[in-house]
Amino acid sequence: MQPTTLEVITRANRAYGSIAETSVLEAVYTTLINTFSAFTMPRSVELFPAQGTDHHGMFPVIGHISVGDIEFEVLSSLGGHLAGQIYLLSTSHGLLFSSDTVINFESLSSERREYSTLAVNLVNSVNVASDIAQREGKALLEIAKEIDTTLAPLGKRCLICGGHGAVSTLDQGRLVIFGITTQYTHWNRHVPPSCDTTNT
């Protein structure tokens, strides 16, 4: 993770490093989402450099990681959704993990869309700097479009994997679901024993 991400976690404030850092609501919201998700601090942390020497579009490249035979560039966000957020990009495999900056909202269930309004109602926005987040989203879609152009002769597309919703591709500038999706609901999920209240 980025050093800034470690600070966000340590300080339990999702707005750390942003113009909203001093907002009490952001700190309270962070506590709520950490409680609801049963967040625990990682035991071992490896930090990327705070700054990158190269850029991919508008984003600094702060490192590279490999997952199997796929090498990803680690791109640093500019802090629109959260300071310290990263994106993972493999141009050769056509994979873009866009975190919460690019999400196919049309693919969300109505329940998930309703849940997503909690942040807006509690802290006004899911982003700590909405103007920056909009620029980042457009820039990521431009990168996906460039990759599509490069991979088209191979019959491949850039798959955009957002923080929520379906894996998607671009179609005339719009996100469209790639493949078949299954909605994940409380009726078909596994409940961890510590959260299961049926036996208490």
125-160 pLDDT, tens digit per residue, is 788 888 999 999 999 999 999 999 999 999 999 999
Do the Cβ atoms of 75 and 65 come closer than 8 Å?
no
Q: Is 29 part of any domain? A: no
> What pLDDT, on a 0 to 100 scale, did the predictor assign at position 18?
87
Do the Cβ atoms of 86 and 48 come closer than 8 Å?
yes
Q: Is 100 exposed, middle or buried (0-12, 13-18, 19+ CB in 10 A)?
A: middle
Number of independent structural domains in the chain: 1
CA 190 to chain centre: 23
Split at pLDDT 50, 70, 90, the class of 187 is low
Q: Is 11 part of any domain? A: no
Q: Is 13 part of any domain? A: no
Q: Is 34 part of any domain? A: no
> What pLDDT, on a 0 to 100 scale, did the predictor assign at position 194?
47
Do the Cβ atoms of 140 and 152 come closer than 8 Å?
no
Average confidence (pLDDT) over 152-170 = 94
Q: Whole-model pTM?
A: 0.85
Spatial separation of the C-alpha atoms in residues 68 and 110, rounded to whole Å: 35
Q: Is 39 part of any domain? A: no
> What pLDDT, on a 0 to 100 scale, did the predictor assign at position 110?
80
